[in-house]
Amino acid sequence: MEIILAVLIGFMYAAGIYLILRRSLVKLIVGLIILGNAVNLLLFLLGGITKGQPPVIGDAEKLLAGVYADPLPQALILTAIVISFGLQAFAMVLLQREYIQGGVEDLDNLKEEDEEK
Protein backbone atom coordinates (compact mmCIF):
# COMPACT_ATOMS: atom_id res chain seq x y z
CA MET A 1 0.00 0.00 0.00
CA GLU A 2 2.77 2.43 0.93
CA ILE A 3 4.61 1.75 -2.31
CA ILE A 4 1.54 2.30 -4.44
CA LEU A 5 0.83 5.57 -2.64
CA ALA A 6 4.45 6.70 -2.89
CA VAL A 7 4.51 6.09 -6.64
CA LEU A 8 1.15 7.82 -7.03
CA ILE A 9 2.34 10.86 -5.05
CA GLY A 10 5.55 11.08 -7.07
CA PHE A 11 3.52 10.90 -10.26
CA MET A 12 1.15 13.61 -9.04
CA TYR A 13 4.03 15.95 -8.11
CA ALA A 14 5.59 15.38 -11.52
CA ALA A 15 2.31 16.00 -13.31
CA GLY A 16 1.58 19.12 -11.23
CA ILE A 17 4.99 20.65 -11.83
CA TYR A 18 4.82 19.79 -15.55
CA LEU A 19 1.45 21.48 -15.81
CA ILE A 20 2.46 24.70 -14.04
CA LEU A 21 5.41 24.98 -16.40
CA ARG A 22 3.06 24.99 -19.42
CA ARG A 23 2.01 28.27 -20.98
CA SER A 24 -1.75 27.88 -20.68
CA LEU A 25 -3.55 29.60 -17.80
CA VAL A 26 -6.00 26.72 -17.35
CA LYS A 27 -3.21 24.15 -17.18
CA LEU A 28 -1.52 26.34 -14.56
CA ILE A 29 -4.48 26.15 -12.21
CA VAL A 30 -5.02 22.42 -12.86
CA GLY A 31 -1.35 21.89 -12.00
CA LEU A 32 -1.72 23.79 -8.73
CA ILE A 33 -4.79 21.72 -7.81
CA ILE A 34 -2.97 18.45 -8.50
CA LEU A 35 0.02 19.59 -6.45
CA GLY A 36 -2.31 20.54 -3.58
CA ASN A 37 -3.85 17.09 -3.60
CA ALA A 38 -0.44 15.44 -3.81
CA VAL A 39 0.62 17.23 -0.62
CA ASN A 40 -2.48 16.00 1.19
CA LEU A 41 -1.74 12.41 0.18
CA LEU A 42 1.87 12.88 1.26
CA LEU A 43 0.75 14.00 4.71
CA PHE A 44 -1.52 10.95 4.87
CA LEU A 45 1.28 8.59 3.84
CA LEU A 46 3.93 10.04 6.13
CA GLY A 47 1.55 9.92 9.09
CA GLY A 48 1.86 6.16 8.77
CA ILE A 49 -0.81 3.86 7.38
CA THR A 50 -2.26 1.45 9.92
CA LYS A 51 -5.07 -0.79 8.74
CA GLY A 52 -8.03 -1.72 10.91
CA GLN A 53 -6.71 -0.23 14.17
CA PRO A 54 -8.90 2.77 14.97
CA PRO A 55 -7.62 4.97 17.81
CA VAL A 56 -10.49 4.09 20.12
CA ILE A 57 -9.98 3.44 23.84
CA GLY A 58 -11.87 0.30 24.87
CA ASP A 59 -14.22 0.15 27.88
CA ALA A 60 -11.77 -1.77 30.03
CA GLU A 61 -8.71 0.35 29.23
CA LYS A 62 -7.57 3.81 30.24
CA LEU A 63 -4.94 4.46 27.61
CA LEU A 64 -4.45 3.66 23.95
CA ALA A 65 -2.30 0.57 23.89
CA GLY A 66 -0.52 -1.23 21.06
CA VAL A 67 -0.55 -0.18 17.43
CA TYR A 68 -3.23 2.30 16.38
CA ALA A 69 -3.85 4.63 13.46
CA ASP A 70 -2.60 8.18 14.07
CA PRO A 71 -5.65 10.46 13.87
CA LEU A 72 -3.65 13.68 13.60
CA PRO A 73 -2.74 13.53 9.86
CA GLN A 74 -6.43 13.33 9.03
CA ALA A 75 -7.11 16.48 11.01
CA LEU A 76 -4.20 18.20 9.25
CA ILE A 77 -5.39 17.05 5.83
CA LEU A 78 -8.93 18.17 6.51
CA THR A 79 -7.67 21.65 7.39
CA ALA A 80 -5.38 21.73 4.37
CA ILE A 81 -8.19 20.61 2.03
CA VAL A 82 -10.53 23.34 3.24
CA ILE A 83 -7.84 26.01 2.92
CA SER A 84 -6.69 24.93 -0.53
CA PHE A 85 -10.31 24.72 -1.65
CA GLY A 86 -10.82 28.38 -0.80
CA LEU A 87 -7.56 29.50 -2.36
CA GLN A 88 -8.14 27.53 -5.54
CA ALA A 89 -11.66 28.89 -5.89
CA PHE A 90 -10.20 32.39 -5.63
CA ALA A 91 -7.46 31.62 -8.15
CA MET A 92 -9.99 30.27 -10.66
CA VAL A 93 -12.15 33.38 -10.43
CA LEU A 94 -9.03 35.50 -10.85
CA LEU A 95 -8.03 33.58 -13.98
CA GLN A 96 -11.49 34.01 -15.39
CA ARG A 97 -11.47 37.78 -14.73
CA GLU A 98 -8.03 38.07 -16.25
CA TYR A 99 -9.18 36.17 -19.35
CA ILE A 100 -12.32 38.29 -19.73
CA GLN A 101 -10.50 41.61 -19.22
CA GLY A 102 -7.26 40.91 -21.00
CA GLY A 103 -8.17 38.13 -23.39
CA VAL A 104 -4.83 36.47 -22.64
CA GLU A 105 -4.68 32.71 -22.37
CA ASP A 106 -0.95 32.33 -23.01
CA LEU A 107 1.31 33.06 -20.05
CA ASP A 108 4.04 34.31 -22.40
CA ASN A 109 1.82 37.26 -23.30
CA LEU A 110 1.36 38.25 -19.66
CA LYS A 111 4.22 40.71 -19.68
CA GLU A 112 2.51 44.02 -20.17
CA GLU A 113 3.61 45.08 -16.69
CA ASP A 114 7.28 44.42 -17.27
CA GLU A 115 7.60 46.44 -20.43
CA GLU A 116 8.25 50.15 -20.43
CA LYS A 117 5.64 52.17 -22.19
Partner 1 sequence: MNDNLILLPVILQLALALMLLFFWSKTKWQRIGSMVGNTLFLMVAVYLFVKIYKNGVLFTQAGDWEAPFGITFVADLFSATMLVITALSGLAVSIFASGSMSRRRSLFVFFPIYHFLLMGISGSFLAGDLFNLYVWFELIIIASFGLITLGGGRRQLEGALKYVTLNLLASILFLTGIAFLYGLTGTLNMADLARKIPLIQNEGLLTITALMFFIGLGIKTAVFPLYFWLPASYHTPMSAVSAIFGGLLTKVGVYALFRVFSLFFLPDSFTATVITAVAALTLIMGAMGALIQKDTRKLFSWLIVCHIGFMIAGLGIYTTAAIAGAVFYLFHDILVKTNLFMISGLIHKISGTFKLKKLGGLYSQYPKITLLIAIPLFSLVGIPPLSGFWPKLLLIQGGMEIQGYLIIAAIILGSFVTLATIGKFWLEVVWKEQPAFTYKKHFIPFSQLPYIQKFSYVFPIGLLASVSLFLGFGAEIIIDIVNQIAFDLMNPDAYIELILPKE
Residues in contact with partner 1 by CB under 8 A are: 20, 25, 28, 32, 35-36, 39, 42-43, 45-48, 70, 72-73, 76, 79-80, 83-84, 86-88, 90-91, 94-95, 97-98, 101-102, 110, 112-114, 116
CB 1 within 8 A of CB 63: no
Based on CB atoms, which residue is closest to partner 1, 56 or 72? Answer: 72
CB of residue 46 vs partner 1: minimum separation in angstroms? 3
CA 91, CA 14: separation in Å to the nearest integer? 21
- State which residue, 8 or 48, has the beta carbon closest to partner 1: 48
Least distance to partner 1, CB of residue 81, Å? 11
Let me know: does 30 contact 4? Beta carbons within 8 Å.
no
Asked if 99 contacts 25 with a C-beta cutoff of 8 angstroms, the reply is: yes
Give min distance, CB of 91 to partner 1, in A: 5
In the complex, the smallest distance separating the C-beta of residue 66 from partner 1, rounded to whole angstroms, is: 16
94 φ, ψ to 5°?
-60, -45
Angle (deg, nearest 10), helices 25-46 and 2-20: 160
Residue number, 8 or 97, with CB nearest to partner 1: 97
For residue 24, the cross-strand partners are: 106
